[in-house]
Amino acid sequence: MSNTKKKKIETEETENTAPEKETAEAETDTALKAKLLEAEARAKKAEDSAAEANDKYLRLAAEYDNYRKRTGKEREVLYTDAFADAVTALLPIIDNLDRAVVYATDDSELGRGILMMKKQTEEVLAKLKVEEIPSDGEQFDPALHNAIMHEDDENSPENTVSATLQKGYRMGDKVIRYALVKVVN
């Protein structure tokens, strides 16, 4: 074969294969674009799933923290209420001891014993942080006092406690027993 025939055959072959190459490249391009879009969709779906899982985790962590705080407060209130109930059960004994102290003024053994018991009771209440509610001569406070009697007295300021009929006790801000008082109007 001559050179010109060879060249002619080669050019025809290259002309015939060029459209095939372009078609193959276009198909490859389309397939790659489709795969890219599919991969992007999967990545977006994975990001959404991760964001949703993170949101659930944050909500659960916040819910647990609120639960922990709420149960801590409930436990504290329960302890305070149980403590107040125990002290309330002892208050009639303390009242009777106060009444006995009035008559224990002599120097008898019994009188000294009653005074010692009264002192010990006051020390125990102080250790438990239970304090007597001040009332005689104080301004009447319905949050601390329970007025069961009224009297008119021109010499005393209005709404002043003139007499304590039963002592009141509190532990911090919690009133264990209100003081029963007589108030001047």
Q: Residue 118's pLDDT band (boundaries 50, 70, 90)?
A: very high
Burial 142-169 (b: 16+ CB within 10 A, else e): eebbebeeeeeeeeeeeebbbebeebbb
Output 154 or 98, whichever has higher pLDDT. Answer: 98
pLDDT at 24: 73
Range of the domain at 169: 132-185
Please determine, for residue 14, whether its predicted confidence score (pLDDT) is greater than 80. Answer: no
pTM to 2 decimals?
Answer: 0.64
Q: Residue 29's pLDDT band (boundaries 50, 70, 90)?
A: confident
Please determine, for residue 136, whether its predicted confidence score (pLDDT) is greater than 80. Answer: yes
Q: What's the structural domain count of the chain? A: 1
- State the amino acid at position 169 in one-letter form: Y
On whether residue 50 sits in a domain, the answer given is: no
Average pLDDT, the chain: 86
CATH no. for residue 168? 2.30.22.10
On whether residue 168 sits in a domain, the answer given is: yes
On whether residue 125 sits in a domain, the answer given is: no
Output 23 or 141, whichever has higher pLDDT. Answer: 141
Label the pairing between strands 160-166 and 179-184: antiparallel
Q: Residue 127's pLDDT band (boundaries 50, 70, 90)?
A: very high
Q: Residue 129's pLDDT band (boundaries 50, 70, 90)?
A: very high
On whether residue 153 sits in a domain, the answer given is: yes
On whether residue 105 sits in a domain, the answer given is: no
Q: What percent of the chain has pLDDT over 90?
A: 56
On whether residue 107 sits in a domain, the answer given is: no
Output 35 or 105, whichever has higher pLDDT. Answer: 35
Please determine, for residue 44, whether its predicted confidence score (pLDDT) is greater than 80. Answer: yes
Q: Residue 20's pLDDT band (boundaries 50, 70, 90)?
A: low
On whether residue 184 sits in a domain, the answer given is: yes
**Which three-class secondary structure state does DSSP give residue 180?**
strand
On whether residue 120 sits in a domain, the answer given is: no
